[in-house]
Structure 1
């Protein structure tokens, strides 16, 4: 299978020179995805709504790649404010509760202070 690059249409992708996702063989590698609604480039003020939007964005790109949320094998959560993680737990359970991928969580500054969470995933596409 040839390498396939997938874009969400976010202007960040062109500015930075990256793809929202790369399909290589049986794998889909999804870039760190934030809570921006890429259709209108808006972002909610709170971490819960941003987390929900992250999963909507990830779901859309995985479907473009021929995959789905239930094929995620690894997930990384990055939050600038570690104490916000607890607030995201109901959303994480909603989307990943039955999938149970290998997971890592860490706290680090994100490139834009409006961003409250960034999520990166690796999934199978078969």
Structure 2
């Protein structure tokens, strides 16, 4: 089995010494991902937009690894305020209606104050 690194081409990855995702055999580990819009080079200031952006960025990394959101087996959500949970739960259900991964929600601060949510996933390609 070979190990492969996937990058979002963010300069921060090199500075901080991490990859957007690591593929190890059939397992895919996607780093904590924010809703940063790489096309517009900005972070939306709306929680709902950031959440959808997280899923877009994660889906892009998974696609590079030959997988999709339906292959996710574990997810960790980090939100910066407890009251955000009610707003984002239906979005989680929308993206994970098929996968239904094991999940954890954590309330904690994120690197930049404008970040409201970060999502980390583990997926397994099915043979």
Bin for the TM-score computed over the shorter chain: over 0.9
RMSD (CA atoms): 1.0
Residue 25 of structure 1 deviates from its aligned partner by 1.3
Deviates more, 1:116-125 or 1:11-20: 11-20
Residue 89 of structure 1 deviates from its aligned partner by 1.8
1:27 aligned to 2:30? no
Q: Distance in 2 between matches of 1:100 and 1:5?
A: 26
Q: Distance in 2 between matches of 1:115 and 1:35?
A: 8
The equivalent of 1:56 in structure 2 is: 56
Residues 71 and 124 of structure 1 are in contact (CA less than 8 Å); yes or no, is this contact kept in structure 2?
A: yes
What SS does structure 2 have at the residue aligned with 1:40?
coil
The equivalent of 2:102 in structure 1 is: 102
The equivalent of 2:40 in structure 1 is: 40
**Where does structure 2 lack aligned partners over 5 or more consecutive residues?**
none
Residue 45 of structure 1 deviates from its aligned partner by 0.7
Any residues of structure 2 matched to 1:1-126 within 5 Å, and which?
A: 1-126=1-126
Residue 83 of structure 1 deviates from its aligned partner by 0.8
What SS does structure 1 have at the residue aligned with 2:76?
strand
Residue 49 of structure 1 deviates from its aligned partner by 0.6
What SS does structure 2 have at the residue aligned with 1:9?
coil
The count of residues paired between Structure 1 and Structure 2 equals: 126
Q: Distance in 2 between matches of 1:55 and 1:108?
A: 19
Q: Distance in 1 between matches of 2:16 and 2:112?
A: 14
Residue 47 of structure 1 deviates from its aligned partner by 1.0
TM-score by length of 2: 0.94
Residues 9 and 38 of structure 1 are in contact (CA less than 8 Å); yes or no, is this contact kept in structure 2?
A: no
